[in-house]
Amino acid sequence: MPHISQGGGGIHAVLGALGLALAVPAATYAQQVPAPDVSALAVPRDVTARTDARISPLLLKAKGQVNVWVQMQTSPLAAAAAKAKESGLPLTRGAQRAHLSQLDYEHDELSRTAASLGGRELGRVSKAHNAVAFSIPASNLSALAAQPGVLTVRPVIDYQLDVSNPTPETVPYIGATAAQDLGVTGKNVKVAVLDSGVDYTHSDLGGSGDPADYTAAYGTETGSDVNKLPSTKGLYPTAKVVGGYDFVGEQWPNGDLAPDPNPIPCGIGVPITGSTTGATCDGTHGTHVADIIAGASTDGAHKGVAPGALLYALKVCSSVSTSCSGVALLQAMDFALDPNGDGHVDDAVDVINMSLGSAYGQFEDDLTNASEIASRLGVVVVCAAGNNADHPYIVSSPSIAPGAISVAQTQVPSAKFYPLVINSPADIAGTYNDTTTVDWAPVQDATHDGFVGDVVYTGRSCPGDTLLANPAKNVALAIRGTCAVSLKVDTLSAAGAVGVLVMMADASEPISFSYGGGKNLGPTLIILKSYGDLIRSVATANVTVHDSQPLRMSMVGGSARGPSYSYQTIKPEIGAPGASVSAIAGTGTLEAAFGGTSGATPMIAGSAALLLEALPHASPAEIKARLMNNSETQIETAPNLFGTQLAPATRIGGGEVRVDRALKATTVAWVPEDETAGISFGAPSISQTRQFHKTVLIYNASNSKRRYSVSADFRDASGQATDAARFSLPSRADVGPRGVRAIDVALTVDPSKLAPWTLNGGPNGGNGSLQTALELDGHVTIKEGIDTITLPWSILPHKAADVRASDEVELRQGTGTVRLSNGGTLAGRTEVFNWTGTSKKKPNRFLPGPGDNFAVIDLGQVGVRLAMAGQTPLVQFAINTFGKRAHPNYPAEFDIYIDADRDGNPDYVVFNLENGGFGTTGQSVVAVVNLATNAASIFFFADADLNSSNMILTAPLAAVGLTPNSQFDFSVFAFDNYFTGKLTDSIENMTFTLATPRFAATGLSVPAGGRATLPVEEVSGGATASPSQKGLLLLYRDAASREAQAVRVDADDND
């Protein structure tokens, strides 16, 4: 997961949040105030003029030893081979080897130079990416970057696993059994599993199933020597797990990477060498994934989706944590493109599975870039969309790569939801539906039939904890955190609880947790934190958990939502059930349910393997399109919460996979521009009626000419949706045998009929329900004979104004007027700030490209103003940047350092962060930190929109040591808070007095299609009290194009 910094002020805790309404009063200004002694201020800064554009700005002030990727200018082999293939002149084997030899020579030269500079090589890659990783003193980065052939030097980024018979339930459900019955098993299709390793001794993966064989292959603890050596006794490779490599070793991230040739994982319960707490491994993630893709027991009773497929176990994730090494991942991508290491890529695997990622996926991510290159070479890349729930733009990288398949999680066919029924006391009695279950502790099974009883709160309830109440003969209520949920259930069930409620620790949706150990697993229900708080607010609550309702063909609440942050396209693209019962590493024969998008992703990888056996020459684009075109579209969002509401395209993509339909289809359609079978019109702000176009290719895979009917529908067929948007597309399309026909799909949107925009990046920044209400989406259906295929379409239109103003106003006798016009169909709300600072746009050569692993937050304008919340005076800081952010949480953090007493040292810092932590709520809030005490508070949400370059940060004056009449100094620093947390820009040393600006004006609304004037007045004493003010900064809400405008005010010379 990319590094996330929580502010330059060193915030360690969130103390509270108040939802206060903001109101800006009419301007009232103090009389002339004495001019203070203004001296140069030395606010700590971390800015150095950039002398080498090749070094990431995030490394320019790094100190000590740093881990970096040095990317070379020469194309990696896969990119060169893909380009040659597209030109019709594929590289010969000799040409491929020659290309690699050249890269090896460049790498060797660079490595020798790095060693002379105190560097140590961590690894090198040359197929999917051309780079060498080093650990090197930061002081020598410039010298390293100056070497011939170096393109960029950037930090190494790590990732996270997506964690939260296979199976007699899910495999038939998605149509895989039907495909297998036709003789299609994925035979000899090669699938690389980039994960925590694969237990090749497990019976479900072709091993003996004898735990002694696992011990022989791994040892008795992480420090055992045998897990670092090629497997002995003929245990590996096997007929199923035909190859692999361990790129991380057994200690990372607690120690250095220590690659070895044995990809066996550290199984459940294996001791971690050197642990003083008796910690054990839970490295079974990759084994679960591998089994779902291609499991095949020797007795034939157990089958994965593609039991004939061959597996490469590429261990890139830690044995002792859920972290996945950024170095190892790129090395594994290289391995997957050249498994035998002979220097050419014609033996590349057919499918890559990555059940891992990082929320709010960015195109600068290097693994995303490597995934795209692999896809263009011809490898089907399948990635988890993530488990960060129904929040706008939270879908993970690398799944956002255009060519990759991004996978959502749907419910297994037997899934049920159990409402929490509070029987008493009467004032909270009722039915509460926002709950979920865990497969390893079912509410109802052969030994349990739900539960009823009085609730006692037992606290954290981890092994060894002192329980806060006796759960015997009661329903125990525990809170999530510190240890695995299954261990809490084990503790409470062993203590006599008749049932267990586990409340979330924050405002996030309940999720179905994976098994993490324990034997006493009584019936369990996961509930909202608010439900738990409600129960705790009364002396005794009596509850019942018994009756259930089916969840078949619906979303899992924790499945992440799009659209993609960087491309504004439909992601995820397809769904699959994600709770298959699959192999547990280190147990020989045992299995358990494995959930999350981690479990859904291998269902799609296995499906791709089935298609590739039947269609060995199909491109990744065709495989993706077949799966999406033939998925089940009637998937509901959450029957327990929203009834029959269908899931929007940015949650489910094309629908839920039906691989048998994809196998039989003789028609395929996709959008070549976006490398997908989804029709994405983006998230435009629209002030006037606009038409959007996408080209769809229809491929007739039959030997006969066919006439197709073409139509479009809306997910929500309400009048408002269909009135606001209408399609123009051919009603029919003739396509010859084995031919391709391009059709234009046009969507016209009338903004006057759109619903008002209600999303934002603050209190509604994680509100998926609001996005569902605003998103227009549905399906384009192409039909002929036996084939009926669909493509999802989506647009997230923002009803907009289009306000413009004059750039300069000249005051006469202390007053003047700014003239504004609005060319939009919505009234243009205009916020007025006192403009105090500006920064020039950075040249494009300093900005990151795909795979560069850093973001540049390029400040444009800064303003400040006095505001009120009731009777509480506030300060608001307005920040406008060059470049918009799809979501304000990332990759930008703005730190405002305030020197309240003007002694040259900052006293407070105000900054934005995600409420609850990375990828948790989607809400952006404003923290205030007292730098003397490090005390932190949160009073307000950030005032920011989606797809915006503006942000307003608000703080009570008392919290930052100010009054309206205080003259203070402040500086604004912009940080990349996604990849490394480093400073990228600043506007410094501004001085202002809130009650005495130099120029004054108040906000207004410009009528739709009309004009308005903004009176401006010069304030007596303002030039002294607020010397940094240059004019007015106008922020335009709901803007179609220009979101901010700095208006210079030329004052009379008599002040």
Across the range 20-42, mean pLDDT stands at 27
Q: For the segment 908-927, what is each residue's pLDDT rounded down to a tens digit?
A: 999 999 988 889 889 999 99
Beta strand segments in 701-841, E? 706-714, 725-728, 732-735, 740-749, 776-784, 787-795, 798-799, 803-805, 808-810, 815-822, 828-838
The pLDDT of residue 100 is: 79
Cα–Cα distance for residue pair 808/812, rounded to 1 Å: 13
Residue 62 pLDDT exceeds 70: no
Structural domains of the chain sorted by starting position, each given as residue range(s) with its CATH number in brackets: 57-156 (3.30.70), 161-412+555-665 (3.40.50.200), 416-550 (3.50.30.30), 666-757+766-786 (2.60.40), 803-841+857-1050 (no CATH)
Sheet holding 1011-1018, edge to edge: 803-805, 815-822, 1011-1018, 999-1000
Cα–Cα distance for residue pair 792/633, rounded to 1 Å: 9
Two tokens, residue 44: 């700590």
| pLDDT band with cut points at 50, 70 and 90 for residue 24 | very low
Residue 581 pLDDT exceeds 80: no
Closest CA to 252 of 145, 433, 118, 123: 123
Q: Are 879 and 859 in contact (CB under 8 A)?
A: yes
The pLDDT of residue 780 is: 98
Cα–Cα distance for residue pair 573/127, rounded to 1 Å: 27
The pLDDT of residue 1051 is: 85
Q: Are 317 and 353 in contact (CB under 8 A)?
A: no
Range with the poorest average pLDDT among 135-139, 451-455, 577-581: 577-581
Across the range 311-339, mean pLDDT stands at 93
Residue 74 pLDDT exceeds 90: no
Q: For the segment 928-954, what is each residue's pLDDT rounded down to a tens digit?
A: 999 998 888 999 999 999 999 999 999
Range with the poorest average pLDDT among 3-17, 56-70, 766-780, 962-976: 3-17
Q: For the segment 538-556, what is each residue's pLDDT rounded down to a tens digit?
A: 999 999 999 999 999 999 9
Residue 260 pLDDT exceeds 50: yes
The pLDDT of residue 56 is: 55
Greater confidence, 558 or 735?
735
Residue 48 pLDDT exceeds 70: no
User: What pTM value is reported for the model?
Assistant: 0.85
Residue 743 pLDDT exceeds 60: yes
Residue 779 pLDDT exceeds 70: yes
Quote the crossing angle between the two packed helices 77-87 and 93-116, to the nearest 10°. 150
Across the range 765-778, mean pLDDT stands at 95
Which letter does DSSP use for residue 671 in this model? B
The pLDDT of residue 104 is: 81
Q: Which H or E run includes 581?
A: strand 580-583
Mean pLDDT, the chain, integer: 88
| pLDDT band with cut points at 50, 70 and 90 for residue 439 | confident
The pLDDT of residue 14 is: 31
Q: For the segment 171-225, what is each residue's pLDDT rounded down to a tens digit?
A: 898 899 999 999 999 999 999 999 999 999 999 998 988 989 999 999 999 899 9
Cα–Cα distance for residue pair 399/384, rounded to 1 Å: 6
Residue 58 pLDDT exceeds 60: no
Two tokens, residue 682: 């983006």
Range with the poorest average pLDDT among 93-102, 191-200, 323-332, 954-963: 93-102
Q: Is the peptide bond before 463 cis (omega within 30 degrees of 0)?
A: no
Two tokens, residue 480: 């999530």
The pLDDT of residue 580 is: 67
| pLDDT band with cut points at 50, 70 and 90 for residue 278 | confident
Tell me which range, 166-175, 576-585, 618-627, 869-878, is most confidently predicted by mean pLDDT. Answer: 618-627
Greater confidence, 10 or 252?
252
Sheet holding 150-155, edge to edge: 120-125, 131-137, 65-72, 150-155
Q: Which H or E run includes 897?
A: strand 892-899
The pLDDT of residue 53 is: 47
The pLDDT of residue 8 is: 32
Q: For the segment 620-635, what is each residue's pLDDT rounded down to a tens digit?
A: 999 999 999 999 999 9
Cα–Cα distance for residue pair 419/515, rounded to 1 Å: 22
Contact residues for 647 (Cβ-Cβ < 8 A; gap 6+) = 554, 555, 575, 635, 636, 637
Q: Are 399 and 572 in contact (CB under 8 A)?
A: yes
Greater confidence, 475 or 869?
475
Q: For the segment 142-165, what is each residue's pLDDT rounded down to a tens digit?
A: 888 888 888 878 777 666 655 444
